[in-house]
Amino acid sequence: MIKARLKSPWVLHYNCGSCNGCDIEILATLAPRFDAERFGIVNIGDPKQADVLVVTGPANRRNARVLKNLYDQMPDTKVVIVVGSCGATGGIFHNCPNVLGGVDKVIPVDVYVPGCAARPEQIIDGFVMALQKLGEKSRGAKDEKGV
């Protein structure tokens, strides 16, 4: 089961209020030019079946509840990738009245992909790091259960 998830992770993409720049790069990453699907990475719309949550944009008062809700619906074990500087720190939205800051103000983050906007090559690197984390977490969970 662990191997299957690592070979074909299912990804949920959530725009937390970004300018859409990083989202377009994520779509380019998954589309035929950069073709992340060749590594088995599949974009889906159902949090209950997702292994990886990819978030762009800052956490704010309006989206924090939705972000937490999506994260909580994902089954354990899961990893979170933040793409772009807005999701890491608030970025260009830092100090806006409704902005809380980076995504880690609301949910735990495993991997940060820097950039404004992040490039598809960097996003693919982020997926590779996230899969390593997912493997470590899955093995840890298995050891805890003693299976």
Handedness of CA 122, 58, 20, 40 (dihedral sign): positive
* CB of residue 58 to ligand SF4, shortest distance in Å: 8
CB-nearer residue toward ligand SF4: 43 or 85: 85
Q: Does 55 bind ligand SF4 (CB under 6 A)?
A: no
Q: Which stretch binds ligand SF4 (CB under 6 A): 2-10, 34-42, 84-92, 130-138?
A: 84-92
The residue with tokens 């299976």 is 147
Residue 81 belongs to what H/E stretch? strand 79-83
By the 8 A CB rule, do 102 and 89 touch?
yes
Residues between 23 and 52 with contacts to ligand SF4, criterion CB under 6 A: none
Residue 57 binds ligand SF4, judged by CB under 6 A: yes
Lookup: tokens for 147:
């299976």
The answer to whether the CB of 30 falls within 8 A of the CB of 54 is no
CB of 133 to ligand SF4, least distance (A): 22
**Residue 147, Cβ neighbours under 10 Å: how many?**
6
Residues that bind ligand SF4 (CB under 6 A): 18-19, 21-22, 56-57, 84-86, 91-92, 116-117
